[in-house]
Structure 1
Amino acid sequence: MSAATGAPAAASPLRELAAAPGLLSLLGWSLVGRLHLSATLVALLVVAADTTGSYATAGLVSGALVLGQGLTAPLRGRAVDRRPAAGVLVWTSLVYGAGVAALAAVPASVGWQALAGAAFLVGLACPPSTQVSRAKVAQLAEGPLRQRAFTLQATVNELVLVTGPGAASLAIAGMGGRGAVVICGVLAAVGGFGLAAAVRRAGVDAPPATGGKAAETPAGSLLRNPAVVRAVAAVTALIAGFAVIDFVLVSWSHQRGSPALGGVLTGVWAAGSAAGGLAATLWSNGAAHLWRRLALVALGVALLLPALALPPAEATPWTVAVALALGGTVIPPALAALYDHVADSAGPTRRAEVFGWIATATTAASAAANPLAGAALDRWGPLAPVCVALAVCCLAATLVARAGKDPASP
């Protein structure tokens, strides 16, 4: 009790998260269930490069896997909205995990086209771990607790994106490329099975219930809802902007003659993001408009403009690193508020489907971002693609401002 008021002392944010039945377990297994995504791309790229002798062709093979994952994401999300999530996770994880492992056995003699075709078919069965985790977090929690859970999820996801390729590299060093692909298949199955068990333990295996029975999913396309379209477009624009920044960091470092610097700078950006997300999870309790959160992300991107104003040979990576570290701190709180907005826009019976559409849209946008950024960089230098990233981040803020919704920040 508070000595001054006699009111109960507020529980710490971590205690609030832990007190929600099954929430932390769901968050933990959702991250394990996503670890295979980035790791598999690295391992498959190495196998395809060894098979074809060309990294360009190897990129087509890994791109085929991603294309398959993106095409069926809305269908898998819709399945989760209409039937028990654990069953969908188990079967897709079993098929996908076995399929990824089988890619390691495709002989070099069949050619890269057969390997790309097999990778595409495997990608179609990718487990809906992302859709399930975000939809079930929204089903388990509401209000500030839900946004805090989304913030924690976005924070640790930054670490997963860095850890996945690193783990794949270690597996490649120890077992070779084909052995690493098999490990990725096993990891996909284990993550999917673990998330299915966590969903069951949390009591949210079934779709959301209304009036004591499962809620009926409205007919018609979800994309006919203007609020949903704006929300999906906002997330897509933001992720596309991040993809452009990743491209700029790699290409700028290559122009300086230090390719490894790109990985270091990406790690600094991820570390800043993780620090900002952890701080928001633990200490941020004030309310803020969603569009302001996204405006802060745009401001963080703008910090790169003076840092990259000099030619690559004359610029110092320290100023770029500081800009990335500062700009990264506002990303997880913004993503958390944005995902909360997406969940509200879609409604309780279409949440997994809308996150599936986001997976498809962001996959396509990220694929288109690299050639666009490359063309801008070749013509005008590194500031041009940064301006592109800034423009799409501003577009995301404009889209949510038009929606007229102002979720509180965590």
Structure 2
Amino acid sequence: MVREVRTVLDLKPYRKALALPGLRPLLLVSILARVPMAASAVVLTLHVVSLGYGYAAAGAVGGVMTVGSALGAPLLGRLVDRRGLRPVLLLTTIASAVFWLTAPHLSYPVLLGSVLFGGLLTLPVFSVVRQSIAALVPPERRRQAYALDSMSVEVSFMTGPALAVLLATTVSPEVTMFAIGAGMVLSGVILFVLNPPTRTVAEATAPGRPVARREWLTPRLIGLLAISVAGTLVLGGTDVSVVAVLREHGQVGWTGAVLTMWAAYSLVGGFAYGALSRPVSPLLLTVLLGLATIPVGLGGGRWWLLSLALLPAGALCAPTLAATADAVSRLVPASVRGEAMGLHGSAITVGVALGAPLAGAIIDTTSPAWGFAATGLLGTLTALLSLPLHPRRPRPRPTDPALIMKLAHSEREKSALTS
């Protein structure tokens, strides 16, 4: 039995991936850079509320910034493809410094307008890291590398919001905003010095013509982006539904513990996914994530029951994100990989942005338990509707002369039998 488990979960690919030059520092920097980004939404909410506005106004600020991030990710990725990484890092680092240093002093109407540009020129850590992984890691090791990347996202989102709330409540939201700006500037400087490659040496030196968008933005890639939206829609809805269920049963104080357990399940699932001996389809993972989320609300209002109910869906979070990123990196040419990864990042952002208000609307009209069911069902259906965009690979034509003669002889025999 132990031997069978070892054959399914192989840890050697992890060791081989981490031994590749440049991957370890890239993953470490990605954790550092994502912590302030994970904290930004919480801090902006606390800041707007401290100005005397309601949570709807705070949500509007977060929504506008999300729109900016979704629009900016593919544009910055395209700029990386054409001009290189360092000019983009220089531009976004300066923009982040200006925004986070001035934002605490802006009135609400001015802040609402400026967050669009703040989101548009956000440091493109997510897409840059995933693009660099495709350049640093050979295809046979990318699944483990993207699994590690997804696990690093979970670590950042476990620590970032908690640190932000702690600093904002003990000092002030304004000081926390300055800290986020400092963190983003530091991350941009480190990435500028590290300058991780965005293409392999062979890809960078190989001659090639410009690739038109219609050539690489294929139905299959659109299907992968739809799957990414579906998966993160489920995650955004789950986040809101957890808070609503615990609040309804008077256990809102356990929210942090439940969300931490959910993130821990994702870490374990991501590690197991990378250790599997065979890859798993991102479509299948997304469908399973949606189906596993539907019954979570049946766990009741006790925090520990809700934590247990989240286990299957939580274990599928990081694998789903890793599988979609890996698939996108393999599907597009290296010359447009930055833009494609930007589109993937936008799809993730859009999914989360849709999932949270959708779950909130369902919860307001029914009950918190239906938030899980609705977003899980919608995520599943969205993933299944993308199925026609994933054509099966055509069977390879035989090239061996002996095999061709054998197939031809078999066809003649079939014709003789039928006649």
TM-score range, shorter chain: 0.7 to 0.9
Task: Give a deviation string over 1:17-49, Cα, whole Å, max 9, x none.
Answer: 232110111122122222221212222222221
Instruction: Say which of 131, 153, 169 aligns to 1:157.
Output: 153
Deviations 1:99-132 (A, max 9, x none): 21221233xxxx4111212222222211111111
1:231-380 alignment, distance < 5 Å = 231-281=224-274, 283-308=275-300, 315-380=301-366
Q: Which amino acid aligns with 1:372?
A: L
Offset at residue 291 of structure 1 (A): 3.4
Correspondence for 2:61: 61
Q: Give the superposed CA RMSD.
A: 2.6
Cα 1:169/1:75, change in 2 over 3 Å: same
- Is the CA contact 2:45–2:58 (under 8 Å) kept in the aligned structure 1? yes
Of 147, 172, 178, which aligns to 1:176? 172
2:183 matches 1:190: no
Measured in 1, the distance between the counterparts of 2:380 and 2:356 equals 19
SS state of the match for residue 135, structure 1? helix
- Give the whole-Å Cα distance in 2 for the aligned partners of 1:214 and 1:180: 48
Range with bigger deviation, 396-405 or 256-265: 396-405
Task: State the Cα deviation string for residues 221-257 of structure 1 (Å, max 9, x = none).
Answer: 5785211111111101110111111111111111112
Which residue does 1:133 correspond to in 2? 129
Work out the CA distance in 1 between the residues paired with 2:173 and 2:378.
37
1:318-348 CA distance string (max 9 Å, x none): 2221121232123222322221112222332
Amino acid at match of 1:134: R
Superposition pairs of residues 4-83 of structure 1, within 5 angstroms: 12-83=12-83
Q: Alignment partner of 1:300: what SS?
A: helix
Percent identity reads 25
Secondary structure of the 1:350 match is: helix
Matches within 5 A, 1:93-112: 93-106=93-106, 111-112=107-108
Alignment partners' CA distance in 2, 1:184 and 1:222: 39
- Alpha-carbon spacing, 1:363–1:290, altered in 2? closer, same or farther (3 Å): closer
For 2:42 and 2:204, the matched residues in 1 are separated by 47
Instruction: Indicate the residue corresponding to 2:86 in structure 1.
Output: 86
1:403 equivalent in alignment to 2:390: yes
Paired letter, 2:227: A
* Deviation for aligned residue 1:79: 0.8
Amino acid corresponding to residue 298 of structure 1 in structure 2: G
Q: Given the alignment of the two structures, is residue 118 of structure 1 paired with residue 79 of structure 2, yes or no?
A: no
Instruction: Return the structure number with greater helix share.
Output: 2
Report if the CA contact (8 A) 1:83-1:206 is conserved. no
In 2, Cα distance between equivalents of 1:208 and 1:93: 27
Quickly say closer, same or farther: Cα 1:209–1:135, change in 2 above 3 A.
same
Matched with 1:3 is none
Which TM-score applies when normalising by structure 1? Answer: 0.84
What is the alpha-carbon distance in structure 2 between the residues aligned to residue 397 and residue 75 of structure 1? 26
* Structure 2 residue aligned with 1:312: none
1:226 aligned onto 2:212: no
Deviations 1:377-397 (A, max 9, x none): 233323433222222332355
Contact preservation (8 Å) 2:270, 2:316: yes
Q: Displacement, 1:65?
A: 2.6
Is this contact kept in 2: 1:86–1:205, CA < 8 A? Answer: no
Q: TM-score, normalised by structure 2?
A: 0.83
Whether the aligned pair in 1 keeps the contact of 2:128 and 2:198 (CA below 8 Å) is: no
Q: Deviations over 1:41-85 (max 9, x none)?
A: 222222221123423222222333332222222100111122211
Unaligned segments of structure 2, at least 5 residues: 1-9, 394-419
Residue segments in structure 1 that go unaligned for 5+ positions in a row: 1-9, 309-314
